[in-house]
Structure 1
Amino acid sequence: MLENIQFANPNFFWLLLLLPVAALWYFFKRKEETASLKISTIKGFSTESILAKMKPALFVLRLLALAAIITALARPQTEDISSRTKTTKGIDIVMAIDVSSSMLARDLKPNRLSALKDVAADFIRKRPNDRIGLVVYAGESFTQTPITSDKNIVLNALRDITYGQLNDGTAIGMGLATSVNRLKESKAKSKIIILLTDGVNNSGFIEPQTAAELAVEFGIKTYTIGLGTNGNALSPIAYNPDGTFRYGMRQVEIDEKLLEEIADATGGQYFRATNNSKLEAIYDEINKLEKTEVEEFKYYKYEEKFRSFVLLAGVLLLLEWLLRNTLFRSFI
């Protein structure tokens, strides 16, 4: 009966402390409630009446009735909660990904590009309320997918990113400018770009500083990530006769100063990822920094349960009244 029950006015349970007091009062005063007759002898009278011994049951019924009334006053009820969420501040995100040949370096496992795709996919899954787009760049840039709320489209497009889509090179300015172009018309409360590269700007006809100024003009924050180990990395250095890459050790060169300038100018941050775990930690950090505000509405439905206790109290009082005026009438 009391399963999953809560009480709206639990302070009324303090009244239960009066019940032991009433019981003590009855124990000491019960003899005074019965009329007495003084006679010289009780020889010939029977003193073993069962009804007389059961008379305190009437008082017990009254106490139980009072306990039921107090419980009813405490308003027992069940609560059913339903909730609905509403995104109040959506974020539009463009991920600009370097797909130059150096992204095939094997200092991250199995290589930089594959490691990035795995981490980026996990990041996308953690942003269910945001719109995300993809831009790829090497010697030039293009939009892999425009910003969309359909995460399956974004994840499929991310999976399809490979080396060879563009002429080789690293056009950081072009990649950033294309990303800005994807976001400039956005009406989102917050717009961000996550730009990742493992090299220096050596291609394209748009300077990275110019693209950064465009991002500032349109209120777009840019997080930059420099990818690659410190020192040498096993990287493609030439083609084999069959068209595959020949690998060799090559110095990792990242224009960290440029990436820091872009991040500072746009209000973002610069990160350096030298292995898989650091790359994953960087995307987790960005995920924490860029929180989407979600408003939650909760609806409470209460079902009152006091009526059954009132009914129980009524039945107990009626039973006490009937017994008092029938079976126990001669003793009262």
Structure 2
Amino acid sequence: MSFLYPEYLWYSLFLLPYLAVLPLYYRKQLDVLHLLCRSNLNAKMRASYRKYFTLLATFFALFILFLVLALAKPLWGYNRKAEPRAKGLQIVFVLDISRSMLARDVVPSRLSRAIGLLGELHEIFEGDELGLVVFKGRAQTLVPLSHDRLVFPSLFPQLDTEILQTPGSNLAAALEEGITQFDNRSNTSQVIILLSDGESLSGDPSYIRQRLDNWDGTLMTIGVGTKEGAELLDQDDNIITNYHGLPVRSQLQEDVLLDLSHRTFGKYYPIQELSLGRKLQNELAPLTRGNHILKYNLRDRYQIFITLALFCFLIVATLKRFGFMGFYQFSKSEGLSVLRHGNPNSWDKPNGRNRF
């Protein structure tokens, strides 16, 4: 299960102070119960009130929790539909050229290894439309989608971290730039192949997640680097340090790349994987056959949590309407006569309803 707006899940933290004060409120209400029933409060009555209070508190907490989950818009399951596809693919390569790509936790460096893979993929998908986007703190299209096979090889030697001057790393801008390259009037399958270490220092991650959820294409991510990471180097091979004089270390953010690819039912691969180019070709082969393919979309399930929240609210409202006396009378029919002890109004509010 995933969420369209996962940032709303933080609202569930409001339940923590509620749960913290519950024991105090329970003891206060129990003291009031002692005063009302005087010496007639027995062990069965105390146990019944504990059940009543627990049910009331639990279903109210669930009511709030389900509302928060509905607000975050949970997504799971599959919605199948058949779509005609033209032969061939439209593939946009999105290459990370931020400074972290100079790290040497893969040989000879992350950027060099990614450029080498680009050359291999360029040959494998030679019959498809190809485009190239590079990004740092902003993204720029170097090659629009086309069948031109001459421009790519001439660009590879020029790809370095100095093509763009905007510092940082903005995955959201890169993927947005890649998506805008496609012609939505075409029935050709749309594919983005992202080569990056997953570090994103700017941009709106929630926006790009939503954008990918609504995009009718496939994102394949290639993780360039290792989880252990490496110290960053500048163009002169000097170690980059922070304000405290300590070396800056960069690590592969595999979870970020996995999350992005899974939103489009694509796949993630580490760049160290053997025969990676052929594996990508085999994975994308079903999209090139020209007949009907199945498209899978995550289904919005917030209605389930809205229904559960309403159910919990009805239980809370019912418990409050009948009060503790109604609950106890329902669970133990002889309890009412024991409690009243000859005074039929001792448990009534001025309007005739139970106090608990």
Q: Structure 1 length as normaliser, TM-score?
A: 0.54
Offset at residue 293 of structure 1 (A): 3.1
Q: Which residue of 2 aligns with 1:246?
A: 238
Structure 2 CA distance, aligned partners of 1:208 and 1:184?
24
Residue 118 (1) aligns with residue 112 (2) = no
Q: Deviations over 1:118-152 (max 9, x none)?
A: 11111111112200100001111110110111121
- Using the TM superposition, give the Cα deviation of residue 102 of structure 1 relative to its aligned residue in structure 2, in angstroms: 1.2
Q: Match of 1:146, SS?
A: strand
Map of 1:262 onto structure 2: 260
**Post-superposition shift, 1:88?**
5.5
> Corresponding residue for 1:218?
215
2:199 match: secondary structure:
coil
Does 1:131 pair with 2:129?
yes
CA–CA distance in structure 2, aligned partners of residues 233 and 269 of structure 1: 25
Q: CA RMSD, aligned part only?
A: 2.5
Cα separation, 1, equivalents of 2:251 and 2:105: 13
Specify the code of the residue in structure 2 equivalent to 1:293.
Answer: R
Whole-Å separation in 1 of the counterparts to 2:199 and 2:101: 12
Relative to 1, partners in 2 of residues 1:254 and 1:230: Cα closer, same or farther, differing over 3 Å? closer
Moved more, 119-128 or 248-257: 248-257
Shift of 1:250: 5.2
Report which stretch shifted further, 195-204 or 165-174: 195-204
* Cα deviation, residue 197, structure 1: 1.4
Which segments of 5 or more consecutive residues in structure 2 lack a partner in the other structure? Answer: 1-84, 241-246, 292-356
Structure with greater strand share of residues: 1
Name the residue aligned to 1:312.
none
Q: Which residue of 2 aligns with 1:293?
A: 289
8 Å Cα contact 1:145-1:157 kept in structure 2: no
Alignment of 1:166-181 (within 5 A): 166=164, 167-181=166-180
- Number of equivalences: 198
Alpha carbons of structure 1 residues 209 and 159: separation in structure 2 relative to 1, 3 Å:
farther
CA distance in 2, matches of 1:267, 1:209: 18
Distance 2:239 2:158 in 1: 23
Supply the AA of the counterpart residue of 2:171.
Answer: I
Moved over 4 A (4+): none
Q: Does 1:281 align with 2:275?
A: yes
Question: Which moves more between the two structures, 89-98 or 264-273?
Answer: 264-273
Paired position in structure 1 for 2:339: none
**Counterpart-to-counterpart distance in 1, 2:107 and 2:252:** 19
2:196 maps to 1:197: yes
Matches within 5 A, 1:4-19: none
Aligned counterparts of 1:212 and 1:132: Cα–Cα separation in 2: 24
Distance, in Å, in 2 between the alignment partners of 1:138 and 1:203 is 10
Query: CA offset at residue 251 of structure 1?
Result: 3.7
Cα distance in structure 2, aligned partners of 1:97 and 1:168: 15
CA distance in 1 between partners of 2:92 and 2:186 (Å): 14
Residue of 84, 95, 98 corresponding to 1:97: 95
Q: CA deviation at 1:196?
A: 1.8
Change (3 A) 1:268 1:162: same
Identity of aligned residues (%): 25
Secondary structure of 1:121 counterpart: helix
What is the aligned partner in structure 2 of residue 229 from structure 1?
A: 226
Equivalent position amino acid for 2:227 in 1: N
Amino acid corresponding to residue 157 of structure 1 in structure 2: L
Amino acid at match of 1:159: P
Unaligned runs of 5+ in 1: 1-86, 296-332
Task: Provide the rounded CA distance (Å) in 2 between the counterparts of 1:201 and 1:257.
Answer: 12
